[in-house]
Amino acid sequence: MNNKDDKIAKILKKNILRHGALSLADYMHICLTHPKYGYYIKNEPIGVKGDFTTSPEISQMFGELIGLWIVQVWMDHQKPEKFSLVELGPGKGTLMADILRATRMITGFHNALELFLIEISPSLKNIQKKALKGFPVKWKTEINGLPNQPTIIIANEFFDALPISQFQRKSDKWMEVMVNLKNLSEPDSNEFCFQLMNPSKEILVNFENEVFEEGCMIEISKTMQNIIFHLSKHIQKNSGAALIIDYGKEGNVGNTLQAVRKHKYSNPLSSPGQQDLTSFVDFKAIRTHAEESGVIVSQLANQGDFLKNLGIEQRAKILSKGLSGNDLVLHQTALERLINKNLMGNLFKVLGLRGTKSPPLIGLQT
């Protein structure tokens, strides 16, 4: 590791030497969003030259169909004259740019929308500014404080980027996965290791009555819980909906933490701050917290089915008419990547949330 790149490692080490081992959630929080050296703060993670690629970067069709979904929700809410369109973690701004392009012919829609992007990274915010040039955008770093008006919220590959805590069942009790220095007696060592310790916080109250096998791991994201709480309260109070798309599963059992660098898996404890750290989104936990806050939650759909329900195959056919040769092959490959059940089609899931006074959401079953 060269000097320039090990800033986060030094910060982590200082923290551990001063306060003891870090929870996995604190480790992830520092690695990903440290205000100066965090992974999302100083890198450009998305795209061929970055570390990973997302659906809107694969094909314009993704954003176009999400755009039509948003228009339908707006229409089903009797076309409010003012509403907030909010995106959580907009990355390079590609999804929002495609949404706005696909909806520009809808009478009254662009005039009605007030655009909010929730983004923690100044460098990605600059890229978003360029991608959305000409549109009045308001940036925020947190979801709270949105204006009280009908609100449509979208989030693609946002929730997988939030810190999680991990716990392991050992002799009838839960131990927390902590991050420690491998060799505390060697001050120059920047090597980290996982260590099981007594849980730092009372985080597990909801799981007391369930039976877990020895050695089993579970994951909990307090940050996700807080965001879902705010988001749900907001759409319940003001009417509207939220669309959450991400890779994940229903339930929190298993170790799903992964690190990705240059499109390859790597060790989550190596090169802290220089690689993406994510986990599978627990859609069951999202449902529980959203329902506790009073909103209606749709059935969980596979991305492939959702996009097909919205007409991606028809859209692909229309677009393919203008293409030939390599462009046509790329276009067909992109469609396959998004909907094929062995590619992103089943791994990625879609969940819809809506206020109790809001109508059912297209493309999803209630």
Q: Which parts of this chain interact with ligand SAH (CB under 6 A)?
A: 33, 40, 46, 54, 56-57, 89-91, 95, 118-121, 124, 156-158, 161
Report in angstroms how near the CB of residue 36 gets to ligand SAH at its nearest.
15
Report in angstroms how near the CB of residue 146 gets to ligand SAH at its nearest.
14
Tally of CB atoms within 10 A around 177: 23
152/149 Cα distance (integer angstroms): 10
Q: Which is nearer to ligand SAH, 140 or 169 (CB)?
A: 140
Report in angstroms how near the CB of residue 99 gets to ligand SAH at its nearest.
12
**Do the beta carbons of residue 115 and residue 135 sit within 8 Å?**
yes
Q: Which is nearer to ligand SAH, 71 or 224 (CB)?
A: 224
Place of tokens 């991400």: 246
| Token representation of residue 151 | 């609100």
Report in angstroms how near the CB of residue 277 gets to ligand SAH at its nearest.
10
Q: Which is nearer to ligand SAH, 39 or 174 (CB)?
A: 39
CB closest to ligand SAH, residue no:
89
For the four alpha carbons of 181, 182, 185 and 187, in that order, the dihedral sign comes to negative
* All residues at 6 or more sequence positions from 242 whose CB lies less than 8 Å from its CB, including other chains: 152, 153, 154, 155, 231, 232, 235, 352, 353, 354
The backbone region for 139, taken as left when phi is positive above 0, alpha when psi lies in -120 to 50, beta otherwise, is: beta
Report in angstroms how near the CB of residue 111 gets to ligand SAH at its nearest.
25
Q: Which is nearer to ligand SAH, 86 or 361 (CB)?
A: 86
Q: Which is nearer to ligand SAH, 42 or 79 (CB)?
A: 42
**Residue 229 CB-half CA count within 13 A:** 6
Q: Which is nearer to ligand SAH, 119 or 176 (CB)?
A: 119
Q: Which is nearer to ligand SAH, 16 or 118 (CB)?
A: 118
Q: Is 342 exposed, middle or buried (0-12, 13-18, 19+ CB in 10 A)?
A: exposed
With CA atoms as reference, report the closest residue to 354 among 341, 344, 363: 363
**Do the beta carbons of residue 263 and residue 29 sit within 8 Å?**
no
Report in angstroms how near the CB of residue 119 gets to ligand SAH at its nearest.
5
- Strand 83-88 and strand 151-156: pairing? parallel
Q: Please, what's the b/e burial string for 205-226 (b: 16 or more CB within 10 A of its CB; e: otherwise)?
A: eeeeeeeeeeeebbbbbebbbe
Place of tokens 């990903």: 32
Amino acid letter at 286? I
Report in angstroms how near the CB of residue 121 gets to ligand SAH at its nearest.
4
Q: Which is nearer to ligand SAH, 119 or 305 (CB)?
A: 119
Q: Which is nearer to ligand SAH, 79 or 222 (CB)?
A: 222
Report in angstroms how near the CB of residue 290 gets to ligand SAH at its nearest.
18
Report in angstroms how near the CB of residue 322 gets to ligand SAH at its nearest.
25
